[in-house]
Structure 1
Amino acid sequence: MRSYIILIMCLLFLIQYFLRFAWLDYIVAGLAISAFLFSVIRVRGFLRVISLFMMTLGIFLEFNKGAGIQGVSQGILLILPLVCLVTLSPLISIPLKLEGYFEAVNSLLRNLLHHPKRMFAGITTSLFILSPILSLGSVRLVNEFLADLKIPSAMSAKSYLIGFSTAIMWSPYFASVSLVLYYLEMPVGKYILYGLGLSFLSLLVGNLLFAVWERQHPLNQNALPEIDLESNQRNKLIKLALFVLILISTSLTIEYVTKWSMIVIVSLISLIIPLIWGLFNNGWARLCPHWQTYKEVSIPMMNNEIMLFTSAGLLGHAIQGTSFANDVSYLLTNIAGTSLLLFSIAVMAIILIFTYVGLHQIAVITALAMQLNPEEIGISTLALAMLLILSWATSTVLSPFSGLNLMVSRFVGKSGFEVGFHANGLHLSVVSVIGIFIIMIIR
């Protein structure tokens, strides 16, 4: 029942995006609240507490501002595109799984087992390619491939976080890029080359630092047999990379021609691709079991995302215009007038502090994106977008409450601090310095 509510909510949102019926806003918002409540019932622990706290505080602030139910509805509707994106995007992976592309990735990683530096490059590059399609599922998938290979925990912690975090910086299929650019009203096409450039630099820095680390901590993998990569598997890897390239290019082209929101474009593509695959491959019978799995397993597994995104989005919207938000905006604007470097450091520090104590990136960065005016600060929208997205990627790795950090910590058996700061602190520091340097150039 809950899965149907979420899917109907997503479909009605897409319909409402084009038809703009005022009465439909309240129906969609009501379905979103229902999905949130269903998720809260099923989740336990700190995530449930922080989500209820953010939702309660967001509602309180909306009523305190005098916005009332309409303000709550607007806050939920602002974050709903992201909820739809997270819900629908896993559908893209179904045809890829049926065509055997993921098994080709598995064979590649096993083939590189006896070459630690190549293995590290293979893991980070695989995550760079797979993460826009599978989100956190890419980390889970790669970890399943490597589960019986006894990869050192330090290598896993570094490769998983570096590979995944690069996608956070560039992919329009990620909340970081789509949401920040959505609120800053900036087309993805004007940002993506800069995001890709920063991602490639992050990937390069991560692999170089691992090469230095591996020289001091040599890895012995000679106990396991070496596996050759067959030609058909190489072809599938090439096709997988081309698929991602075509997917991104198609999204950018549609955005350029139609001026639609990238989040909506991605959601529509996620729905259409499995249908096209089934039509041209006569694969409806093969699709049905995966559709059932998606409906009965994948959507219920999104409790954390739906709960956190809805509550954090409402809180981010509710904070806008409060005296606290105005004071922070005034402070940052004054700092920017003194030094762009200090402004960049201050923004990153604010985001890191709030996310490290448990607030989701969406709440903090949404509030900043809606509150900060690039013209008043004296920088371009592109520079501000890159700063917020860089901060999002950094805080996702470092915060012990982020979904990525929690997942990798569980996989490698280490604490969130060890996985974040200890394993990846140097990499993040170098990438942050490079990112801020680029921001100061394009200001």
Structure 2
Amino acid sequence: MRSYLILTMCGLFLIQYFIPSHWLQYLVVGISLLAFIGSAVNADSFPRMLGLLMMGIGIIIEFNKGDGLDGISKGILLILPLLCLITLAPLLSLPLRLGGYFETIAFLLRNLLYQPKKLYAGITGTLFLLSPILNLGSVRIINEFLKDLKLPPAMSAKSYLVGFSTSVMWSPYFASVSLVLYYLKVPFNDYIIYGIGLSLLSLLVGNLLFYIWERRHPLCKDSIKEVNLEKGQRNQLIKLILFVLMLMTTCLIVESITHWSMVVIVCLFSVIVPLLYGLLTKTWREIIPQLVDFRDHTVPMMNNEIMLFMSAGLLGYAMKGTEVANQIGSLLTILAHQSFLLFAIAIMIIVLAVTYIGIHQIAAVGALAMQLNAQDLGISNLALAMLLLLTWSISTALSPFSGLNLMVSRFVGISGIGVGLRSNGLHVSIVAILGIVVISFIG
């Protein structure tokens, strides 16, 4: 029943985007709240407690502001695109799974076992390529490939966080990019080059640091003959790269022609691409069971995400215009006029402090994106978007409560603080400094 509520919520949102209607908006908000309640009943204890707390605070703030039910509806409508995105985006993994791409990646990574530097580059590069489409599922898949190889926990912690966190800064299939660009009204076409540039910089820094770290902590002194990929496997890797490039390019073309929201475009593609794949390859017998499994298992497993995203989104919207938000906005404006460096550091400290106590980045970054005015700060919307996304990426890696950190911590057997600060603190610090320098020139 929950899966039908969630999928109905997504379908109605897409319909009302193209056919605006007040009654349809109220209907989709009502179904969204029912989906939230259903998810709350089945969510894990900590996300349930945190989600209910954020939702409760958001509702109280809206009533104190005098906006009441209308404010609550607007807050939920504002976060609905992101809820649809995280719900529908996993459908894009179906062509990859059915096309046999995962087996080729597994062979490639296992083949690099006795070459740690190449293996590290392979893991981070694969996550850079797959995470935009598979989100956290990419980390789970890579871990499945490698768990029998008994890699050192420090290596896994470094490679998983470095590879995944890059996508937070550039992928339109991620809530981070979609949310920030949506709130700041920055076209994805204008942002993508800068976002990919920041991501590649982070990837480069991560690999250089691992090269230095591995020299001090040799992982393997053995050497075996590397088995070359067969022609078919090489072709599979090339097809995978072309598939990702095709998706991104087509999204950019559609956005430039239609001027639709990139979130909506990605949601539509998430549904269309698997259906088109089944039509072109005539694999309907394989596709249909996968779609049924998505409906019956994947969607109901999103309880935690639905709770945290909806409650954090409402809280972030409710904070807009409050006395606390106005004071923070005024302070940040003063800092921005004094020094961009001080302003950027303050942004990072605020977001890290909030996410370190368990509040999702959507609430912290979303509230800042809605509260801050780039013109008042003396910078461009593009520079502000880059700074917020850089901060989101850093907090994703460092916060012991982020989905990435919790997952990697469970896989490698290291505490959340160990995975974040101890294993990746230096990388995050260097990327933060270099990122702020780059953004200061753009701003």
TM-score range, shorter chain: over 0.9
Number of aligned pairs?
A: 443
Q: Distance in 1 between matches of 2:99 and 2:156?
A: 27
Answering whether residue 59 of structure 2 is matched by residue 59 of structure 1, we say yes
Show the counterpart of 2:207. Answer: 207
Is contact 1:110–1:226 with CA below 8 Å preserved after alignment? no
CA deviation string 1:216-264 (max 9, x = no partner) = 1101274999654222111101110111011001101111111100000
Q: Distance in 2 between matches of 1:157 and 1:31?
A: 39
Show the counterpart of 1:80. Answer: 80
Q: Distance in 2 between matches of 1:282 and 1:252?
A: 28
Alignment of 1:119-158 (within 5 A): 119-158=119-158
Show the counterpart of 2:384. Answer: 384
Show the counterpart of 2:235. Answer: 235
Q: Distance in 2 between matches of 1:227 and 1:64?
A: 66
Is contact 1:113–1:221 with CA below 8 Å preserved after alignment? no
The 1:221/1:48 distance shift into structure 2, 3 A limit, reads farther
Q: Distance in 2 between matches of 1:376 and 1:127?
A: 37
Deviates more, 1:284-293 or 1:159-168: 284-293
Q: Secondary structure at the match of 1:220?
A: coil
Q: Distance in 2 between matches of 1:260 and 1:73?
A: 22
The 1:13/1:152 distance shift into structure 2, 3 A limit, reads same
What's the Cα RMSD here?
A: 1.2
Show the counterpart of 1:189. Answer: 189
Q: Distance in 2 between matches of 1:163 and 1:12?
A: 35
Structure 1 gaps, min length 5: none
Is contact 1:89–1:266 with CA below 8 Å preserved after alignment? yes
The 1:296/1:440 distance shift into structure 2, 3 A limit, reads same
User: Deviation at 1:96?
Assistant: 1.2
Alignment of 1:24-423 (within 5 A): 24-220=24-220, 222=222, 227-423=227-423
Q: Distance in 2 between matches of 1:282 and 1:365?
A: 43
Q: Amino acid of the residue matched to residue 356 of structure 2? A: Y
Q: Distance in 2 between matches of 1:301 and 1:137?
A: 12
Q: Distance in 1 between matches of 2:72 and 2:153?
A: 44
User: Deviation at 1:46?
Assistant: 1.9
User: Deviation at 1:45?
Assistant: 2.5
Is contact 1:123–1:163 with CA below 8 Å preserved after alignment? yes
Deviates more, 1:136-145 or 1:40-49: 40-49
Q: Amino acid of the residue matched to residue 288 of structure 2? A: C
Q: Amino acid of the residue matched to residue 426 of structure 1? A: L
Is contact 2:44–2:304 with CA below 8 Å preserved after alignment? no
Q: Normalization by structure 2: what TM-score?
A: 0.98
CA deviation string 1:100-154 (max 9, x = no partner) = 0111111110111111000000000000000011000000000000011111110
Is contact 1:93–1:134 with CA below 8 Å preserved after alignment? yes
Show the counterpart of 1:11. Answer: 11
Q: Distance in 1 between matches of 2:344 and 2:171?
A: 22
Q: Amino acid of the residue matched to residue 307 of structure 1? A: M
Is contact 1:76–1:314 with CA below 8 Å preserved after alignment? yes
User: Deviation at 1:304?
Assistant: 1.2
Is contact 1:320–1:370 with CA below 8 Å preserved after alignment? yes
CA deviation string 1:372-424 (max 9, x = no partner) = 00010100101100000000000001001100000000000010000000000
Q: Normalization by structure 1: what TM-score?
A: 0.98
Give 4+ residue runs of structure 1 displaced > 4 Å after superposition.
221-228
Is contact 2:104–2:237 with CA below 8 Å preserved after alignment? yes
Identity of aligned residues (%): 61
User: Deviation at 1:58?
Assistant: 0.4
